[in-house]
Amino acid sequence: MMAHHILRLAAIVAAVALLLPGATGYPWPFCGDSTFKANGTYQANLNVAAAALPKNASASPDLFATAVLGAVPEQLWAMGLCRGDINSTECFSCLTQAFQDLPNDCSYINNAVIYYDTCMLHYSINQLLPEDDGDGSWLTYGIPYNGNVTTDPGRFNQLVAVLVNATADYAAHNSSRRFATGEADFDQEFPKVYSLAQCTPGMRPARCRKCLAGLVTNWLESLENNIRGSILWVNCTCRYDVTPFFNGPAMVRLPSPIPSAPAPALTPAVPPAAAGEGGRKYSVAGVVLAVVLSTLAALILVACVCFWRRRPRAPAKQPCIYPSPTLLSNFTASDLQITYTADLCTDPMYSTEADDMEMADSMMMDFSTLRAATGDFDKSNKLGEGGFGAVYKGVLPDGDEIAVKRLSQSSTQGVEELKNELALVAKLKHRNLVRLVGICLEQQERLLVYEFVPNRSLDLILFDTEKREQLDWGQRYRIINGVARGLRYLHEDSQFRVVHRDLKASNILLDANMNPKISDFGLARIFERDQTQGVTGRIVGTLSVYSCLRQNSELINEPGYTAPEYAMRGKYSVKSDAFSFGVMVLEIVTGRSCNDWNSAGTRSQDLLSTVWEHWDAGTATATIDPCLGGGNFPVGQVLRCIHIGLLCVQGDPAARPVLSSVVMMLGSDTMTLQAPSKPE
């Protein structure tokens, strides 16, 4: 995903540089590609937001406000943020101007953003995630200007890197507005360099720092040698300039680098005989005493070190993500004596226990509230039953609909799964993952509160002979694409590397527009970045290809979603998730469950064998769901999905594609696909 963003960024930056030679000012509008109808519901929602949001943001201590108006599919999400050093009057004026300019610059576009010197406005038909750090969200833009450093540009670039990173640290950790400004001395040509960093208020420190680090590490090189630059995401921004552009004194101050002291010259050792010639003479007793005292001092020092190492210590803080050591070879934070007081940030790739506690506290909900929302967990509100408890629909006092997962009190095994799901889902943000909105741990109750997804799970529609007619090919293809993108995010693009381990149709939820959301992370596992597989003695998930079912006193194999290496040897990896995805793709194309049983109660030929036999015989179109209709779909695209599904269910994990490759296959009609092998 990031590589795709970089390619898009390069084209946009080049276009801006060509179209605006010498331009140094705002505004900068960026438009999406989907539209809304003139004088329609979305337009009315936009007008309401234009009247309310500038007032709300300018009245907020954080100079920030959001708005959600209307209902799907014409629902509008809007976000306005002003720079942290301006006053409320300036904030109101800037956002009011933004609501006038952006609809003109992006005429009838329902997903657009505009940046000004002192504010930004973003509105969209899709939900805006305030904790999103850029993974799966709007693209990033780096804006260069004409005007380069002519003397010692390498040293200038290094100073900018350190200054912007130091400012980002302060914004993330030492500012309630998630805002900071910085200043550094440079040379006679440009005596000062100024910087600014800002995140959406409310972002946790580690998330804010990760967002800013993504800007700095990915886009700073595109601004090399420029005397000013702006690096923009919807939820975080960085900026630097050689002229002042913010109000008030800088919050971070970097003075001129302190010259390194020359190393002392090495003095040759003086032989004892030479020391005796006119030099000071030492007695044997004095030498012995000196040796004894030195040894005693060394022993005391060792004892102190051992004591210090044995004492309880807080977890060590990890340094912030900085540019490469080569880039910072001449400037370091210690050499520049940064004068901000914020703590060193932890590694943005992993949140700390304190961050987890902060996150958990902010998401806590009262049991009484959830009990009232679900009608005391009334059966009429029950959406389904999972392996560790039931899920209920609820309505909060403000009208928001929720889904409440209530862990069974008799289920001791499910406690760890619940904790695992909480730790994972709260930190994963993607449009194709179900969103966690709250938790409840009181009165021996353990509940997770999710966004309500009105169309429930894919299996309830796909495997119902009547309901699946609602799913035309366009919707099915969108579901396949969405699940693939969600898995790619889990495997490659998120702050963790996550293996889901329980991907199946019943764990794919569908929103009002039939967009898929992957759910149920109780069995998911985090991988280290260089880890390729894990091993477990406990096989979990839906019945596997090699799982056993006792029937007529015999054990028989039942087809399912679980990869053979996982079912037989407990080995799981991103390739076992790919297998499950492939099974689901074939289910979506055929409209048939992988665990089909005929009316007599005996197992019919499994799905994978059926599809493979037709593929091998050149009759794959015979497996397409009859509910799709004769020719009301692009046959080539459907066959390509069957091809991709078969590639994913190959017996050899190494032969299965990774999800980033799957997304590319789905997005290109010209990309050549390898021939699949027979599923084992």
- Read off the tokens for 229: 């630059």
Residue pair 127/79 in contact (Cβ under 8 Å)? The answer is no
DSSP for 397-429, written as a single string: TTS-EEEEEEE-TT-STHHHHHHHHHHHHTT--
CA–CA gap between residue 54 and residue 64 (Å, rounded): 9
Close Cβ partners of 40 (under 8 Å, ≥ 6 residues apart) = 74
- 109 to each of 29, 42, 426, how far by Cα in Å? 12, 10, 31
CA–CA gap between residue 607 and residue 649 (Å, rounded): 11
Residue pair 643/677 in contact (Cβ under 8 Å)? The answer is no
511 is known as an active-site residue = no
* Total Cβ atoms within 10 A of residue 14: 12
Beta bridge partners of 241: 194
CA–CA gap between residue 97 and residue 77 (Å, rounded): 18
Question: How open is the CA angle 53-55-60, to the nearest 5 degrees?
Answer: 95
Please count the CA atoms within 13 angstroms of the CA of 528 that sit on its side-chain side.
3
Look up residue 546 and give its amino acid: Y
CA–CA gap between residue 7 and residue 10 (Å, rounded): 5
CA–CA gap between residue 491 and residue 499 (Å, rounded): 7
- 601 to each of 365, 545, 551, 552, 595, how far by Cα in Å? 45, 18, 10, 12, 12
Q: What is the 3-state secondary structure (H, E, C) of 546-603?
A: CEEEEECCEEEEECCCCCHHHHHHCEECHHHHHHHHHHHHHHHHHCCCCCCECCCCCE
Catalytic residue among 135, 502, 511, 606: 502
| Residue in 226, 148, 235, 227 with CA at minimum distance from that of residue 197 | 235
Residue pair 36/54 in contact (Cβ under 8 Å)? The answer is no
Per DSSP, which regions of 591-641 are E strands? none
Residue 405 marked as a ligand binder: yes
Residues in the chain: 680
Strands 516-518 and 28-31: unpaired
Eight-class DSSP state of 527: E
- Read off the tokens for 657: 């594609």
Find where tokens 């005929």 sit. Answer: 598
CA–CA gap between residue 94 and residue 88 (Å, rounded): 10
| Residue in 332, 357, 359, 396 with CA at minimum distance from that of residue 131 | 359
Residue pair 49/69 in contact (Cβ under 8 Å)? The answer is yes
End-to-end CA distance of the chain: 32
* Total Cβ atoms within 10 A of residue 447: 22
* Total Cβ atoms within 10 A of residue 398: 5
Eight-class DSSP state of 493: I
- 373 to each of 148, 381, 449, 509, how far by Cα in Å? 60, 10, 11, 21
Residues forming the annotated binding site for ATP?
405
Residues forming the annotated binding site?
405
**Annotated catalytic sites, by residue?**
502
